[in-house]
């Protein structure tokens, strides 16, 4: 998991970059009395303050992480209480320190100290209000929401119950649209009771954000990107506009093919696509319906799920294989404790939070993943994703606490995915999972398979926080939570609810990151950045072929370039980290578009004569 990983499982955002503008905001909120007081502090005082603040936070952080791990891997009333308690202690103390840091707003300090002071102020995902009963309540709610999601399941009329893992597998493979609809609706019952809690949490978190000098939690979240919040929003719009024509072409083709398969009464050709037919519970990535939308001509596309099965891979072997990619780049193997303490498989005797996450419990060597691994190609990718977090965490562990994080949160999400882009047929052959590399006439099939996951994801990666930002800013009020969610789903993704939603539905809550309070824009960023990273690393590795056939497996040069960026942590603005590895300081969708370019030509041909758009 992105957020609950760095400084501890708990102190989610402590490791985020800070926008210069936040400092101005804090300054502009200062009363004259405080400014006067600031004049009596020296640069040395500021350095001392940062040092002791970090030491104090570090002490609170580790037990909070341990309790959070215990809760996530064994949900019950006691682990919930202990985890909420320790998490609250850490965040309340951090908020006090962040407020205290304002006394250095007008003190001239060196660049590092200023950056660390800024990072401290910006470190929260949910800032606690200072009234103790309110911060306690917020902590309880957030832990309860997490648990409600973790425990969620759906029971059919005949009494049979399915957990999310079982439903995920059915959504991926079933082509029975009535069953798909039943599952789609069934899972969304879990979030109905979340709504009042979520509402209350929004109010409390906004109060905490205001106390720190932010307009609301939305401004806090958008202020972590080394640029003013409104400029960051504009950057997102710019990048999305780059990808949009490609997405629209993919959408058009997929809708047409789904119409052929299910009938145009089920999939009307002038409307958004019904959200239950895309092979994924949230219609966020569509790789599972490749068989329904693939080219007419026969294409050899490796079936990783089948290959893993054929070669007898169990969950541990899948993780070992993923680890060996990282070690082939020159990274040290994971510690023995990783293998002893991780949760790889869903325990049968208790509720856990299955949503995959990567943990660094002590900022030394206690790295773990928490997954309920299914033996599929999709999950093989998720394992690489999670290990990307772990190797990043280890690379920056010697940075001061406030720099232990990724350049921006999108970087953390992009590293494992970058490695997974190297799981090409060439690589699968190298590790013996397939016998032959399909020739280039099959590339179209492979590109479509990958685009169904990566291009299809982009608007989903954007819309989740477009919704949350409106909720936090008050633009969307509780009566309109669900309606606003579906408006954004339709606007960005061109998908619609397959049936009218009940007045009490709270569909955002059925997506982990909403009750889990994990910011989501990071995944949008990661989907753009990973193609920039992959391209740069392939060049460094000296790969001569097209970038979609490149694997950096075994390249120590690529590994070194990657590590140079990872070990910077968040000590520099993300633009500098990006420059270190790619030579450019701009986030740019050209790399993802170039990667899939041959597919775009093909999609445009397929779409001729079709009515696209929604
Ligand atoms: O949540 C995740 C990771 C953990 S950080 C498995 N992802 C997003 C999701 O599942 O919705 C990865 C891609 C998007
Ligand atoms: Zn992640």
Confidence of residue 14 (pLDDT cuts 50, 70, 90): very low
Strands (DSSP E) contained in 42-193 are 153-155, 161-163
pLDDT at 39: 60
Q: Can you tell me which residue has the tokens 């519970």?
A: 281
> Measured from the CB, is residue 523 less than 6 Å from ligand 1?
yes
461 CA closest ligand 1 atom index: 14
Q: What is the C-alpha to C-alpha distance for residues 307 and 428, in angstroms, rounded to an integer?
A: 9
Q: What is the C-alpha to C-alpha distance for residues 499 and 401, in angstroms, rounded to an integer?
A: 48
Mean of pLDDT values over 321-346: 98
Q: Which two tokens stand for residue 504?
A: 């009490």
For the entire predicted model, the pTM comes to 0.95
Strands (DSSP E) contained in 58-150 are none
Mean of pLDDT values over 363-386: 97
Listed residue (456, 422, 443, 414) closest to 582, CA to CA:
414
- State percent of the chain over pLDDT 90: 93
In the chain, where are the structural domains located? 2-120, 304-454+531-596
Neighbours of 347 (CB within 10 A): 11
pLDDT at 282: 98
Q: Which of 177, 251, 384, 385 is catalytic?
A: 385
> Measured from the CB, is residue 356 less than 6 Å from ligand 1?
yes
pLDDT greater than 60 at residue 327: yes
pLDDT in tens, 265-319: 999 999 999 999 999 999 999 999 999 999 999 999 999 999 999 999 999 999 9
> Measured from the CB, is residue 1 less than 6 Å from ligand 1?
yes
340's enclosing H/E stretch is helix 336-341
pLDDT in tens, 207-264: 999 999 999 999 999 999 999 999 999 999 999 999 999 999 999 999 999 999 999 9
Respond yes or no: is residue 412 known to be catalytic: no
pLDDT at 23: 28
Mean of pLDDT values over 103-132: 97
Strands (DSSP E) contained in 308-434 are 357-360, 367-370
Q: What is the C-alpha to C-alpha distance for residues 515 and 526, in angstroms, rounded to an integer?
A: 21
Q: What is the C-alpha to C-alpha distance for residues 255 and 495, in angstroms, rounded to an integer?
A: 10
Average pLDDT, the chain: 93
5 CA closest ligand 1 atom index: 5
Give yes or no for a contact between 141 and 204, defined as CB atoms under 8 angstroms apart: yes
Mean of pLDDT values over 319-343: 98
Q: What is the C-alpha to C-alpha distance for residues 162 and 153, in angstroms, rounded to an integer?
A: 6
- Relative orientation angle of helices 177-187 and 164-173, to the nearest 10 degrees: 150
470's enclosing H/E stretch is helix 443-473
85's enclosing H/E stretch is helix 77-101
21's enclosing H/E stretch is helix 20-28
Q: Which of 177, 513, 527, 548 is catalytic?
A: 513
- Take atom 6 of ligand 1 and give the residue whose Cα is closest: 356
Among the bound ligands, the one closest to the CA of 372: 1
pLDDT at 11: 35
- Residue 40 burial class via C-beta count within 10 angstroms: exposed 0-12, middle 13-18, buried 19 and up: exposed
Q: What is the C-alpha to C-alpha distance for residues 217 and 233, in angstroms, rounded to an integer?
A: 15
Ligand 1 site-directed mutation target among 282, 385, 415, 461, most atoms within 8 Å of CB: 385
Mean of pLDDT values over 554-577: 98
| Ligand 2 geometric centre to CA of 409 (Å) | 9
Measured at the CA of 405, the angle between CA 399 and CA 411, to 5 degrees, comes to 130
pLDDT in tens, 520-546: 999 999 999 999 999 999 999 999 999
pLDDT at 285: 98
Q: Which of 355, 412, 527, 548 is catalytic?
A: 355
Q: What is the C-alpha to C-alpha distance for residues 89 and 71, in angstroms, rounded to an integer?
A: 16
- State percent of the chain over pLDDT 70: 94
Give yes or no for a contact between 514 and 468, defined as CB atoms under 8 angstroms apart: yes
Listed residue (517, 413, 502) closest to 465, CA to CA:
517
Task: Give one DSSP letter per residue of 526-593, joined into a string.
Answer: HHHHHHHHHHHHHHHHT--S-GGG---TT-HHHHHHHHHHHTTTTSS-HHHHHHHHHS--S--THHHH
Listed residue (90, 88, 84) closest to 70, CA to CA:
84
Question: How many residues are listed for the chain in this entry?
Answer: 614
Ligand 1 site-directed mutation target among 280, 382, 457, most atoms within 8 Å of CB: 382
pLDDT greater than 90 at residue 141: yes
pLDDT in tens, 30-84: 333 344 444 689 999 999 999 999 999 999 999 999 999 999 999 999 999 999 9
Residue 274: beta bridge partners? 496
Task: Give one DSSP letter per residue of 201-255, joined into a string.
Answer: HHHHHHHHHHHTT-SSHHHHHHT-SSS-HHHHHHHHHHHHHHHHHHHHHHHHHHH
- Take atom 12 of ligand 1 and give the residue whose Cα is closest: 523
Respond yes or no: is residue 253 known to be catalytic: no
> Measured from the CB, is residue 380 less than 6 Å from ligand 1?
no
- Relative orientation angle of helices 132-151 and 194-211, to the nearest 10 degrees: 140
């Amino acid at each position: 998991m992105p957020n609950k990983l760095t400084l501890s499982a708990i102190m989610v955002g402590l490791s985020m970059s800070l926008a210069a503008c936040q400092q101005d905001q804090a300054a502009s909120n200062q009363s004259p009395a405080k400014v006067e007081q600031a004049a009596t502090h020296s640069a040395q005082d500021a350095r001392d303050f940062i040092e002791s603040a970090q030491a104090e936070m570090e002490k609170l952080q580790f037990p909070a992480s341990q309790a959070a791990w215990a809760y996530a891997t064994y949900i019950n009333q006691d682990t919930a209480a202990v985890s909420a308690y320790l998490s609250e202690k850490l965040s309340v103390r951090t908020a006090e320190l962040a407020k205290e840091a304002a006394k250095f707003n007008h003190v001239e300090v060196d660049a590092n100290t200023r950056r660390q002071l800024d990072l401290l102020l910006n470190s929260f995902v949910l800032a606690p209000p200072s009234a103790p009963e309110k911060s306690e309540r917020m902590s309880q709610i957030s832990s309860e929401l997490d648990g409600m999601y973790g425990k969620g399941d759906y029971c059919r009329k005949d009494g049979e119950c399915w957990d999310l893992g079982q439903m995920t597998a059915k959504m991926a493979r079933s082509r029975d649209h009535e069953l798909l609809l039943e599952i789609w609706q069934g899972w969304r019952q879990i979030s109905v009771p979340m709504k009042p809690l979520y509402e209350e949490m929004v109010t409390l978190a906004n109060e905490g954000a205001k106390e720190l000098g932010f307009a609301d939690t939305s401004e806090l979240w958008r202020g972590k990107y080394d640029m003013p919040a409104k400029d960051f929003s504009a950057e997102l719009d710019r990048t999305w506009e780059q990808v949009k024509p490609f997405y629209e072409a993919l959408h058009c083709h997929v809708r047409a093919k789904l119409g052929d398969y299910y009938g145009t009464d089920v999939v009307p050709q002038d409307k958004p696509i019904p959200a239950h037919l895309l092979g994924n519970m949230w219609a966020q990535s569509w790789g599972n319906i490749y068989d329904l939308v693939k080219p007419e001509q026969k294409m050899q596309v490796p079936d990783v799920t089948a290959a893993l099965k054929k070669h007898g891979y169990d969950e541990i072997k899948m993780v070992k294989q993923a680890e060996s990619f990282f070690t082939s780049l020159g990274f040290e193997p994971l510690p023995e404790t990783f293998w002893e303490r991780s949760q790889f498989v869903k325990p049968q005797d208790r509720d856990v939070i299955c949503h995959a996450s990567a943990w660094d419990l002590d900022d030394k060597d206690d790295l773990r993943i928490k997954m309920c691994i299914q033996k599929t190609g999709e999950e093989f990718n998720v394992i690489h994703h999670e290990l990307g977090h772990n190797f990043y965490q280890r690379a920056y562990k010697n940075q001061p606490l406030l720099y232990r994080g990724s350049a921006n949160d999108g970087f953390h999400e992009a590293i494992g995915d970058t490695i997974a882009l190297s799981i090409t047929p060439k690589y699968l052959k190298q590790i013996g999972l397939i016998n032959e590399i399909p020739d280039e006439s099959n590339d179209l099939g492979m590109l479509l398979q990958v685009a169904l996951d990566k291009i299809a994801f982009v608007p989903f990666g954007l819309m989740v926080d477009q919704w949350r930002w409106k909720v936090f800013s008050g633009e969307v009020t509780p009566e309109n939570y669900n309606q606003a969610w579906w408006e954004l789903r339709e606007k960005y993704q061109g998908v619609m609810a397959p049936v009218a939603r009940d007045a009490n539905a709270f569909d955002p809550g059925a997506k982990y990151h909403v009750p889990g309070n994990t910011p989501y824009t990071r995944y949008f960023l990661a989907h753009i950045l990973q193609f920039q990273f992959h391209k740069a690393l392939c060049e460094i590795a000296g790969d001569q072929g097209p970038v979609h056939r490149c694997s950096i497996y075994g390249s120590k040069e690529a590994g070194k370039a990657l590590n140079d960026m990872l070990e910077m942590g968040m000590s520099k603005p993300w633009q500098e980290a990006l420059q270190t590895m790619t030579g450019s300081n701009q986030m740019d969708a050209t790399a993802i578009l170039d990667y899939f370019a041959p597919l775009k030509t093909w999609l445009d041909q397929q779409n001729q004569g079709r009515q696209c758009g929604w």
